[in-house]
Amino acid sequence: MPQKFNLASGVDGLFIEDSRFNTTLISFNFYVPLRKETYSDYALLPYLLSSCCDECKTFRELNTRLGNLYGATISANAIKLLDFQCISVSLSVLNDRFSIDGKSIVASAAELLASLVFAPSLSDDAFREADVERERAQMLDRIRGEINNKRGYARGRALSLMFGDDPYGLPRFGTEEDLMKVTGESLFSAWSRMLREAYVHINVIGEKLPEGIFSAASAAFSAIHRENVTAFSGYNMPNFAEPTTECERMDVKQGKLVMGFSLGRVDSEKNTSDIMVMSDIFGGGPYSRLFTHVREKLSLCYYCSCTALRSKAIMLVDSGVEAENAEKAQKEILGQLEVMKNGEFSDDQFNSSIRSICDSLKSIGDSQGGINAWYASRVFDGSVATPEDVIETVKKVTREEVMAAAKQVMLHTVYSLMPQEDAK
Amino acid sequence: MIKTTYSDAKLSERIVSATLPNGLKIFIAEKPDFKSNFAVFGTKYGSIDTAFSVGDEPYTAVPEGIAHYLEHKLFESEDGDAFTRFSATGASANAFTSFDRTCYLFGCADRFEENLDILLDFVQSPYFTEQTVQKEQGIIGQEIRMYDDSPNWCVLFNMLEAMYENHPVRIDIAGTVESISHITADLLYKCYDTFYNPSNMFVCIAGNVKADELMKRIEKAIKPTAPIVVNRADFSEGTDVKCRYVEKRMEVAKPIFCFGFKEQCEGERTLKERIESGILMDVLAGGISPLYESLTDKGLINDEFDSEYFNGNGYSVVLFQGESDDPQAVCDAISAEIERLKRDGIPQELFEAARKGTYGMAIKGYNNVETIAMNLVDCAMAGFGPFDDLEILRNLKKEDVEARLALINTESSVLSVILPKR
């Protein structure tokens, strides 16, 4: 069972003791309000923090340190979660017993992680210009490079269309325009605000709690005047844009069709489980309605599957489809949703789905990354459910509850990326 | 059945292997504290095996993409498909075909033995008719078109095509819409009977299992088949390349490049050679290298930049991939760095950081049952022991890596670029 420690105002530490792994994972997760005006600063910040610090001023110095710590890895990202942006900087490091020369690895790596978070490389009250420009250029490439992966690009476009001006509709890495406004000063201000106001959740997963890690974090945060700490004010209904249909043309061989649906209210572990089972029977595994009917029986798509995003009460169906089949595929996908609503899915499909979801949930605890992601995404849940708790809820889901969940589903947005018309 | 048990002084892992009388290789890693399990049933048969013979028979040439086609078709049987069978147990099943192997696999927490029985059964039960073979052409055609839209895929194959005159590594794993149109049920059976003989296959498992019991279960499930000797056509070629620069335009944001040095390669690289070259890649162009720092500072690469030692039977490439507004400048810098390191030698501290980093990553791999099982596939394919890599890394010298560096001929390079449409 996870052990939770309160380290400072709005700063919690979670230690999950697990001696099965050869590594220790330490993850700093900062939750700040999701707002357009601060989005790009916060999106860039984790990349900047994880590229250098006052102690290792260049990326190469940092990487050499990590290499010598037996390939310790730092990962950083910022994701949207409910009405928040979650900024993470994480470390995965080999346990001390594997050291060839007998020197401690974990404590040194943990200190390095703390330096990245609390002691970045600064010039007065700003991040250094050269570092900012380097990371800005990388981020610009990430934003523009979204188009390289057509499936991901199409999903991102559908999300943006669904949410319109709501900050949840912002592209994953933010917009070029906002990125250009970021400065060393604005990043410094975002970093200081994050340390002052973010709700902070530090996850440690490993055979033992590295000595002093939580006390050091506690001391660091206690030295900061913590105020206006991000608080969860309940689940809010998503702020959707007007429903829309958009077709974009590009020089591609295979088309992409993404359909965005709203799911109604998702505010408890119980109706989350109903939705999980419903969306899985609809378009999860190879037993699903979309796979067996739209892909296998009708051969309309190379892939056709659906994912539910519980944090925003939406579901996306995405498919790779030939242009001439797109209309028919859309009709068949909606037809399968009717099957779900009418309870015309088979008992086999229902049972396969429950078994498959439970099997996947059981495996989460076998990966440090999986455990970290599980708890990082549930910090606002009050009493935090373990994967085992959710398994028990999923097992109790009935056919009627699946039908009821399907009846809440409404088509909102259709986005398609299709070959140029003259290429047909 | 003679079993071998492997262990390592530092790791508390137990891995058991055996080879059945019919030649099937089995590797099992016991992870008693884990809930999840992972199993692979595979064959040393991939897209490069386009011409072969059994015993003294004459060589048969088969259409490009047939190994991948066979993988798709093997999921079907007369009374349904394997996915349906796995659905009833909750397992997550899949398969893939690469240049040199075809693997069928599943991951699960519950009902492992039942799932293993399904895996062993469906891979040993081919069922192809002209009608079912015909039907698959549409689905695979869609898969090929999906890859045609992937710039990272295209940039690699364009490079390989420009680099290799004859070796089938130059062809797309799935073939082309045209090449797969020549695939028939008879040809699929011919390939199946040749390469899906247990003597060419392996079962690799990691999870909460007991090796001794599973060995017996596997032995019982494998159909009695006499071992055969498969001769694979020798496509090895010299270091000359067909063309040193290729480009294509696609819907990408900025130019994507793939740059490689072709190495002389007969047969397969040893594990030690692969590790040495892997470390060389880190020293040359990894995050710890002066080159990476200089290219980043000049804005010539972004974090998509990566390097790989790409090798298999009869092919070997020191390969770099990334995005850049000036791919040629990146390639020139890489070539210059190779010449500089050849001249000045590799700094000891750079070598140490790369060696320790590689060692740590190898140990990290034991955190995950899927990674362990896939590493055991490498062992079964190439004939090395599970912990040999750790032993090699503990004893590796800088001079070993410098010897690999000396083999790179900077004149045998190909640059492939995907340019933006707009």
Selecting from B10, B107, B353 the residue whose C-beta is nearest the C-beta of A64 gives B353
Nearest to B142 among A142, A322, A356 (CB): A322
Is-contact A335 B83, C-beta < 8 A? no
Which pair of structure tokens corresponds to residue B355?
């060696």
Looking at the complex, report in whole angstroms how far the Cα of residue A414 sits from the nearest Cα belonging to chain B.
20
A26 with A157, same domain: the answer is yes
**Each residue's pLDDT tens digit, A6-62:** 999 999 999 999 999 999 999 999 999 999 999 999 999 999 999 999 999 999 999
Minimum CA–CA partner of B419 in chain A: A148
Residue A231 lies in a domain: no
- A355: chain B residues, CB-CB within 8 Å: 88-90, 110
Work out the average pLDDT over B174-196.
96
**Complex ipTM value:** 0.91
Q: Looking at domain B2-232, which CATH architecture does it have?
A: 2-Layer Sandwich (3.30)
Calculate how close chain A gets to B371, using CA atoms only, in Å: 11
Q: Rounded distance, CA B45 to CA B158, Å?
A: 23
pLDDT-derived band at B70 (thresholds 50, 70, 90) equals: very high
Q: What is the pLDDT of residue A423?
A: 54
**B33, two tokens:** 């504290």
CB atoms within 10 A of CB B166: 13
CB-CB contact of A177 with A36 (8 Å): no
Average pLDDT, integer, range B240-269: 95
- In the predicted model, is pLDDT for residue A252 greater than 80? yes
Q: What average pLDDT does this structure show over A355-372?
A: 95
Domain of A184: which CATH number?
3.30.830.10
Rounded Cα–Cα distance for residues B392 and B401 (Å): 12
Pairing label, strands B230-232, B256-262: unpaired
Interface check for B139 against chain A (CB to CB < 8 A): the answer is yes
Residue of A nearest to B207 (CA): A366
Q: Looking at residue A271, what is its pLDDT?
A: 83
Say if residues A116 and A89 touch (Cβ distance below 8 Å). Answer: yes
B349 contacts in A (CB within 8 Å)? 64
The pairing of beta strand B245-250 with beta strand A11-17: unpaired
Cβ of B253 under 8 Å from any chain A Cβ? yes
Comparing alpha-carbon positions, the chain B residue that sits nearest to A147 is: B252
Looking at the complex, does the CB of residue A346 fall below 8 Å from at least one CB of chain B? no
Lowest mean pLDDT among A249-263, A367-381, B297-311: A367-381
Distance separating alpha carbons of residues A374 and A385, to the nearest angstrom: 9
Interface of A with B in 45-64 (CB under 8 A): 58-60, 63-64
Task: Enumerate the domain spans of chain B.
Answer: 2-232, 245-420
Q: Is residue A237 part of a domain?
A: no
The range of the structural domain enclosing residue A394 comes to 244-423
Query: Is B143 considered catalytic here?
Result: no
- Number of Cβ pairs < 8 A linking chain A and chain B: 180
Residues A296 and A178 in one domain: no
Confidence of residue B89 (pLDDT cuts 50, 70, 90): very high
Residue B348 — φ and ψ, nearest 5°? -55, -40
* Same fold for the pair B2-232 and B245-420: yes
Report the pLDDT averaged over residues A92-106. Answer: 91
Total residues belonging to chain A: 424
Q: CA B22, B24, B28 angle in degrees (round to 5)?
A: 140
Q: Chain-wide mean pLDDT for chain A? A: 93
Q: What is the pLDDT of residue B414?
A: 98
List of chain B residues whose C-beta atoms are within 8 Å of the C-beta of residue A51: none
The per-residue pLDDT for B236 is 87
Q: Out of B36, B138, B421, name the one closest to residue A363 (CB).
A: B36
| Number of domains within chain A | 2
Higher per-residue pLDDT: B219 or B84:
B219
Digit-coded pLDDT (tens) for A49-65: 999 999 999 999 999 99
List chain B residues with CB under 8 Å of A137: 299, 302
Residues A139 and A79 both lie in one domain: yes
Domain at B245-420: CATH architecture = 2-Layer Sandwich (3.30)
Handedness of CA B333, B339, B344, B349 (dihedral sign): positive
Q: In 3D, which of B228, B338, B345 has the Cα closest to residue B284? A: B338
Partner-chain contact B33 A20, CB within 8 Å: yes
Which residues 70-89 on chain A approach chain B with CB closer than 8 angstroms?
A: 70-72
Q: Do B367 and A23 touch (CB under 8 A)?
A: yes
What confidence tens digit (pLDDT) does each residue in B298-346 have?
A: 999 999 999 999 999 999 999 999 999 999 999 999 999 999 999 999 9
Residues 115-134 of B with CB under 8 A from A: none
Alpha helices in B164-239 (DSSP H): 177-180, 185-195, 211-221
Query: ∠A211-A214-A215 over CA atoms, to 5°?
Result: 85
Write down the catalytic residue from B30, B71, B263, B276. B71
Q: For residue A424, what pLDDT is reported?
A: 45
Residues of A in contact with B290 (CB under 8 A): 60
* pLDDT value for A340: 98
- Please choose, from the candidates A208, A203, A205, A233, the residue with its C-alpha nearest in 3D space to the C-alpha of residue A11: A203
Kindly list the residues from chain B whose CB atom is less than 8 angstroms away from the CB atom of residue A280: none
For B372-403, what is each residue's pLDDT tens digit?
999 999 999 999 999 999 999 999 999 999 99
- Residues A47, A173 within the same domain: yes
Model confidence at A422: pLDDT above 90: no
